[in-house]
C-alpha cells in the first residue's frame, strides 16, 4: 500500500515538473502583456500617486507605403474620390493611445497622379486620423521627388498638424528646425532622422536630406545639448533590401549614437522585421544600456509578397520624476502587425488593411478571413515572436470589430484623431485629386509607373494548393501567361489594330532615328482602356517628307510605296521598352541594378524607357521573358528597321 502511495506521489511530482517545464519553454517564446483600449490619465493628475511621476506614451511604427495599386484600390469611381479610411482602421485605436506616434513616411504629396512617389492628399488625412503625428522624411523615396513636390508635402503636413523631420528646403531651414524637439505633457523628446542615400538621384539635388554621416551626427548631438532633452530617439532608414541580420556597420553606428546621447535607436528599409537588442555602452564614464531595433518592418507594406507584410510597433511608456527630472523607460513591448489584402468584403475590389496580429489570431476582428490568410497572419506573428521573444514582451489589446467601428464613428463626428481632438480637419476641405492612372483590376490595367513593380510585386503561385481561392488565382495566372506567349510568338489581330483617327497626331519622317510627333490641336486624351502587349506592324519605308497618319488602315490593307530608289532594309534590331511615362523620372541604377544601361527617348508625347539592343529576336525574347516580363507586366519588345522604330 505504501509503495502504491509512493509511486502515485512520485508520478504526480514528475507530471507537475513536466508541465511546469513545458509551460516555461512556451513562455520563452515571448511574454504577453494584456492591456485595455482605454486612455490612462497622466500620473501628474493624481497628486496622491506617491512618487509624483508623470507618464508619456510612445508608439513607433515602421514604413508607411502608398503604391499605385493601393491608390487604385481606394478610388471610388461613383463619387470620384479616394477613401483610405479602411487602411488603418484596425490599427488606429491602438496608435491613438500614444501621445507621440512616429512612422517612416515612404511617399509624398505632390498632387500629381503621374508621380509614382506621390499619393493623394486624402491619404495624408487618414494618417492624421490614425493618430500618427510625427513622420520621418530621410529615406530614398523622398530623394526621388522634386523640390516642388517636397515643398507641397511639407505644407500639407503643416496644414494637418503633423510634425516632420529628416528633410528640409535648404541648410538654413535645417539649422532652425533640427533636431526636432517635441514638447508633450512636461516631456522634451528629441528626434533625429537619417537615411542611407548612396548615389542619390539628381531630381532631389536642390533640397536637403539628412544622410548617414558620423561627423554630421556628432555635430547634431552637440546642437542638442542646450535643449536638455528628457529622451532622445534616433530613427535610421538603413540596411539592405530583404536583409535579415544587421551589418557590423549598423551595430557600430548604433553604439556610436548611444555614446553621443541617444536613448532609443530605430531602423527601417529592409521591409521585413529584424532583431531587437539591448546594447551596453559607456557614456561620461558610466556603463549604460540602450535599446536598438534594427528594422521595424512595414506598417503598410509596399508589396503583396508575404515576406514583406510583417512588422511591429514599439509601445513604450516613459516616466519622469517631477522633482529630480530623471526620465526612465517604465514599461514597453512590441505589437506584431500584418498587411492584409482583403478581396472578399467588397466583390471586385481589394482593401489594404494594417491589422494587429493577435486580434486576428483570437478571431476578434476579421472573423470571416480566409483560412490561408489567417494562417499567414499567425505565421507572421510567430516569426516576430520568435525573433524578439528573448528581448521584448508582446502587448495585446482587447481590439474588436465593435471597438474599431466606434473609434471610426468618433473620428467622423469630431474630424480629429483620438490623441489630438483640437487639430480638426474636414475631408471636404481637401481639393479633390485626379483619378488614378493605374487601374488594378483585370484587363483595365493602365500604363502608370508603379512602385509595386520596383519592389517586385508579383503574386506567388503555389502549386497543388487545395484552397479554392489560390486555385482560381493560379488558373488566371496561367491564362495570362499563355495569352502573353501567343501575342509575342505571332500577331493576333485585335480591335486595337484599327485605331481611332480623331485628333491623331501625324508622324513625319524627318530622317531622324526616332520619329517626331506633331502636337495636335487638343491635348491627347488619357487612355481609358488598357491595351494588350503591343505588336509592331511593319510598314514599308517612305520617301523623305512623306507623312503617315497611324491607324488609318489595317495591317493587311497597307501596301508598299512604289519607288525604285528605295533601299533594302538590312539593319534590324530589337529593344525592350519597360516604361512609357508622361514625365521624365530618372531611375537609380545602383538601387535597381537590373536596369543598368537603360535609355530614355522622348518621342514628343511620352518618354520611352528602353533597355538592350539585340540582333536576334530569340535572344531578346529569352531575356524579356525571364527577367523583364515578370517584373514589368506592360513591358514590350520593340522592333527597329534601319534605326527607325516601326510605326504602330
Contact in structure between 151 and 112 (CB atoms under 8 Å): no
* pLDDT at residue 452 in the model: 55
Mean pLDDT, residues 464-477 taken together: 58
Give the integer Cα–Cα distance in Å for 541 and 538. Answer: 9
Give the integer Cα–Cα distance in Å for 639 and 576. Answer: 9
Give the integer Cα–Cα distance in Å for 302 and 70. Answer: 9
* pLDDT at residue 285 in the model: 87
* pLDDT at residue 309 in the model: 93
* pLDDT at residue 1 in the model: 54
* Cβ-defined contacts of 465-469 (< 8 Å, 24+): 465/372, 467/370, 467/371, 467/372, 469/343, 469/370, 469/372
- In this structure, what DSSP letter does residue 627 have? I
Mean pLDDT check: name the lowest of 281-295, 407-421, 481-495: 481-495
* pLDDT at residue 14 in the model: 55
Confidence of residue 312 (pLDDT cuts 50, 70, 90): very high
pLDDT at 3 over 70: no
More confident residue, 86 or 571: 86
Mean pLDDT, residues 291-303 taken together: 94
* pLDDT at residue 144 in the model: 93
* pLDDT per residue as tens digits for the range 17-28: 655 554 444 444
pLDDT at 462 over 50: no
* pLDDT at residue 113 in the model: 81
Q: Pick from 12-16, 64-68, 447-451, 489-493 the range whose average pLDDT is largest.
A: 64-68
pLDDT at 549 over 70: no
The partner residues of 268 in beta bridges, in order of sequence, read 237
State how far the alpha carbon of 505 is from the alpha carbons of 184, 521, 609, 643, in Å: 60, 9, 21, 21
Helices (H) and strands (E) counted in the chain, each on its own, are: 14, 28
Mean pLDDT, residues 139-146 taken together: 93
| In the block, residue with C-alpha cell 479602411 | 86
Mean pLDDT, residues 298-323 taken together: 92
* pLDDT at residue 146 in the model: 92
pLDDT at 507 over 90: no
Mean pLDDT check: name the lowest of 117-131, 289-303, 352-366, 589-603: 589-603
Q: Name the percent of the chain lying above pLDDT 90.
A: 45
* pLDDT per residue as tens digits for the range 345-386: 888 789 999 999 999 999 999 999 999 999 999 999 999 999
Helix, strand, coil tally for the chain in percent (to 5) = 30, 25, 45
Burial 569-582 (b: 16+ CB within 10 A, else e): eeeebbbbbbbbbb
Give the integer Cα–Cα distance in Å for 579 and 609. Answer: 5
* pLDDT per residue as tens digits for the range 212-254: 999 999 999 999 999 999 999 999 999 887 778 899 999 999 9
Q: Name the percent of the chain lying above pLDDT 70.
A: 72
Confidence of residue 337 (pLDDT cuts 50, 70, 90): very high
More confident residue, 643 or 20: 643
Mean pLDDT, residues 102-117 taken together: 91
- In this structure, what DSSP letter does residue 501 have? -
N- to C-terminal Cα distance for the chain? 99
Task: Out of 3.40.50.1820, 3.60.21.10, 1.10.10.10, 3.40.190.10, select the CATH number for domain 54-429.
Answer: 3.60.21.10
Query: At residue 251, what are phi and psi to the nearest 5 degrees?
Result: -65, -45
Q: Pick from 35-44, 500-509, 573-582 the range whose average pLDDT is largest.
A: 573-582
Indicate the pTM of the whole model: 0.67
Mean pLDDT check: name the lowest of 53-57, 93-97, 185-189, 617-621: 617-621
pLDDT at 44 over 80: no
pLDDT at 198 over 80: yes
| In the block, residue with C-alpha cell 489560390 | 470
pLDDT at 460 over 60: no
* pLDDT per residue as tens digits for the range 550-607: 444 443 443 444 444 434 435 788 889 988 888 888 887 776 777 888 888 887 788 8
The CATH 3.60.21.10 portion of the chain extends over 54-429
Mean pLDDT check: name the lowest of 125-134, 265-274, 598-607: 598-607
More confident residue, 213 or 523: 213
Distance of CA 127 to the CA centre of its chain: 14
Mean pLDDT check: name the lowest of 473-487, 514-528, 624-638: 514-528
* pLDDT at residue 51 in the model: 62
Amino acid at each position: 500500500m505504501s509503495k502504491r502511495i509512493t509511486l502515485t506521489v512520485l508520478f504526480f511530482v514528475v507530471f507537475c515538473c513536466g508541465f511546469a517545464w513545458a509551460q516555461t519553454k512556451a513562455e520563452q517564446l515571448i511574454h504577453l502583456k494584456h492591456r485595455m483600449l482605454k486612455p490612462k490619465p497622466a500620473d501628474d493628475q493624481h497628486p496622491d500617486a506617491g512618487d509624483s511621476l508623470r507618464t508619456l506614451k510612445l508608439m513607433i511604427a515602421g514604413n508607411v507605403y502608398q503604391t499605385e495599386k493601393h491608390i487604385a484600390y481606394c478610388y471610388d469611381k461613383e463619387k470620384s474620390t479616394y477613401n483610405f479610411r479602411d487602411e488603418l482602421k484596425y490599427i488606429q485605436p491602438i496608435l491613438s493611445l500614444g501621445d507621440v506616434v512616429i512612422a517612416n513616411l515612404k511617399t509624398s504629396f505632390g498632387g500629381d497622379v503621374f508621380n509614382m512617389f506621390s499619393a493623394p492628399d486624402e491619404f495624408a488625412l487618414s494618417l492624421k486620423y490614425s493618430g500618427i503625428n510625427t513622420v520621418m522624411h530621410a529615406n530614398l523615396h523622398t530623394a526621388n521627388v522634386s523640390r516642388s513636390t517636397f515643398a507641397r508635402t511639407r505644407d500639407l503636413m503643416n496644414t494637418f498638424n503633423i510634425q516632420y523631420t529628416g528633410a528640409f528646403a535648404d541648410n538654413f531651414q535645417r539649422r532652425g528646425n533640427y533636431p526636432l524637439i517635441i514638447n508633450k505633457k512636461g516631456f522634451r523628446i528629441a528626434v533625429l532622422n537619417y537615411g542611407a542615400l548612396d548615389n542619390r538621384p539628381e531630381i532631389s539635388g536642390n533640397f536637403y536630406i539628412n544622410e548617414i554621416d558620423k561627423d554630421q551626427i556628432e555635430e547634431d548631438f552637440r546642437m542638442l545639448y542646450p535643449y536638455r532633452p528628457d529622451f532622445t530617439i534616433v530613427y535610421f532608414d538603413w540596411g539592405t533590401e530583404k536583409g535579415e541580420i544587421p551589418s557590423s556597420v549598423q551595430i557600430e553606428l548604433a553604439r556610436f549614437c548611444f555614446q553621443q546621447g541617444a536613448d532609443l535607436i530605430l531602423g527601417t528599409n529592409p521591409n521585413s522585421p529584424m532583431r531587437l537588442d539591448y546594447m551596453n555602452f559607456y557614456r561620461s564614464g558610466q556603463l549604460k544600456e540602450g535599446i536598438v531595433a534594427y528594422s521595424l518592418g512595414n506598417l503598410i507594406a509596399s508589396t503583396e509578397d508575404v515576406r514583406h507584410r510583417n512588422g511591429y510597433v514599439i509601445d513604450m511608456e516613459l516616466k519622469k520624476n517631477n522633482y529630480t527630472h530623471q526620465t526612465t523607460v517604465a514599461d514597453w513591448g512590441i505589437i506584431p502587425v500584418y498587411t492584409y489584402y482583403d478581396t472578399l468584403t467588397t466583390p471586385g475590389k481589394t482593401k489594404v488593411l494594417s491589422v494587429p496580429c493577435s486580434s486576428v489570431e483570437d478571431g476578434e476582428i476579421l472573423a470571416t478571413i480566409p483560412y490561408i490568410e489567417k494562417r499567414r497572419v499567425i505565421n507572421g506573428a510567430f516569426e516576430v515572436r520568435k525573433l524578439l521573444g528573448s528581448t521584448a514582451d508582446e502587448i495585446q489589446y482587447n481590439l474588436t470589430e465593435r471597438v474599431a467601428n466606434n473609434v471610426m464613428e468618433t473620428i467622423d463626428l469630431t474630424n480629429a484623431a483620438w490623441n489630438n481632438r483640437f487639430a480638426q480637419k474636414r475631408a471636404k476641405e481637401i481639393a479633390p485629386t485626379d483619378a488614378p492612372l493605374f487601374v488594378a483590376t483585370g484587363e483595365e490595367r493602365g500604363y502608370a509607373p508603379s512602385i509595386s513593380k520596383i519592389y517586385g510585386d508579383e503574386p506567388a503561385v503555389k502549386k497543388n494548393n487545395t484552397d479554392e481561392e489560390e486555385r482560381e488565382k493560379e488558373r488566371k495566372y496561367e491564362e495570362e501567361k499563355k495569352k502573353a506567349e501567343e501575342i509575342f510568338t505571332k500577331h493576333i489581330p485585335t480591335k486595337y489594330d484599327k485605331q481611332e483617327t480623331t485628333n491623331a497626331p501625324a508622324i513625319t519622317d524627318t530622317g531622324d532615328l526616332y520619329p517626331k510627333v506633331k502636337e495636335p490641336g487638343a491635348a491627347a486624351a488619357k487612355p481609358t482602356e488598357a491595351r494588350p502587349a503591343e505588336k509592331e506592324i511593319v510598314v514599308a519605308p517612305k520617301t523623305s517628307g512623306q507623312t503617315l497618319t497611324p491607324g488609318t488602315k489595317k495591317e493587311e490593307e497597307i501596301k508598299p510605296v512604289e519607288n525604285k530608289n528605295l533601299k533594302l532594309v538590312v539593319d534590324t534590331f530589337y529593344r525592350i521598352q519597360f516604361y512609357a511615362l508622361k514625365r521624365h523620372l530618372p531611375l537609380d541604377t545602383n538601387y535597381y541594378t537590373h536596369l543598368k544601361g537603360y535609355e530614355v527617348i522622348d518621342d514628343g508625347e511620352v518618354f520611352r524607357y528602353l533597355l538592350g539592343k539585340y540582333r536576334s529576336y530569340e535572344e531578346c525574347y529569352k531575356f524579356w521573358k525571364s527577367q523583364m516580363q515578370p517584373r514589368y507586366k506592360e513591358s514590350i519588345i520593340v522592333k527597329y528597321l534601319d534605326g527607325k522604330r516601326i510605326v504602330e
